[in-house]
Amino acid sequence: MSLGDAWTGPVLVTGTDTEVGKTVVTAAVAAAAQAAGLRVAVVKPGQTGTATGEPGDVDSVTRLAAPLTGRTLASYPDPLAPLAAARVAELPPLELYNAVDAIREEADKHDLVLVEGAGGLLVPMGLRPSGEPWTVADLAVSLGAPAVVVARAGLGTLNHTALTLEALERRAVPAGVVIGAWPTEPELVHWLNLSELLPNLLGAVPAGAGGMDPGVFRRSAPGWLTPALYGVLDDWRAWAEE
């Protein structure tokens, strides 16, 4: 699968770190794909921090993009990595092949299944039948799925993004990058980072997009993404001049 092909089936959405915009990017891809006529499901394998009472990530995606299906496989109260959260709460950790089966079940009924990870690529998500921890990277390998890497726009992103892409390449997982929050008033560092990320870039979502009216969000999302993610952004030079 190349960066120019439209991505179908299970697609992992991971990040270079936590709080980089994975949920809003997931919503943007879901909105663009549905606008293109696809049946879209969004799956969150492990949701943590539910004790706060705030909406979960699938709830946020549903509000913004209204995918055909939204599903959370396991929820834990503490805002920790899913495996750590399961242990602290003394709840069963998510088993890798149960997650794989659930995602493949949705793939049988949908054209695109967006699977949003937790934190970065190698965060422990749950346990294998052997008792060994598994990560989002392991999930991508098990599913044979490509990965969208959500990255920051500012200082430090080149190193974090390169490390994440290298880890995926070593596992033969195709990957592209989406900037999770492109600033309203970008500075030199943002433009220089953009130019470095450009060979792998699949989109750039504006900062604050998650606070948009859902109707505006859905109409705008295709303009933030390249055709591989069902957007219409095909000229970065023209985009930069807007």
- Residue 1's pLDDT band, with cuts at 50, 70 and 90, is low
- Alpha-carbon gap, residue 154 to 167, rounded angstroms: 21
What number of other Cβ atoms are within 10 A of residue 97's Cβ? 11
Find the mean pLDDT for residues 109-113. 98
- Residue 119's pLDDT band, with cuts at 50, 70 and 90, is confident
Lowest pLDDT segment from 4-8, 118-122, 226-230? 4-8
pLDDT at 93 (0 to 100): 97
- Residue 4's pLDDT band, with cuts at 50, 70 and 90, is low
- Smallest CA-to-CA distance from 11 within 110, 116, 210, 145 is with 145
Q: Is 126 annotated as a binding residue?
A: no
Q: Is 50 annotated as a binding residue?
A: no
* Alpha carbon separation from 183 to 26, 190, 209, 237 (Å, rounded): 18, 8, 11, 17
- Residue 2's pLDDT band, with cuts at 50, 70 and 90, is low
Q: Is 109 a catalytic residue?
A: no
CATH 3.40.50.300 for domain 7-239: yes
> pTM for the complete prediction?
0.96
The catalytically annotated residue of 44, 110, 152, 218 is 44
* 5-55 confidence digits (pLDDT tens): 789 999 999 999 989 999 999 999 999 999 999 999 999 999 999 988 888
Q: Is 187 annotated as a binding residue?
A: no
Q: Is 108 annotated as a binding residue?
A: no
Find the mean pLDDT for residues 231-241. 91
Q: Is 57 annotated as a binding residue?
A: yes
- Alpha-carbon gap, residue 67 to 38, rounded angstroms: 10
pLDDT at 68 (0 to 100): 96
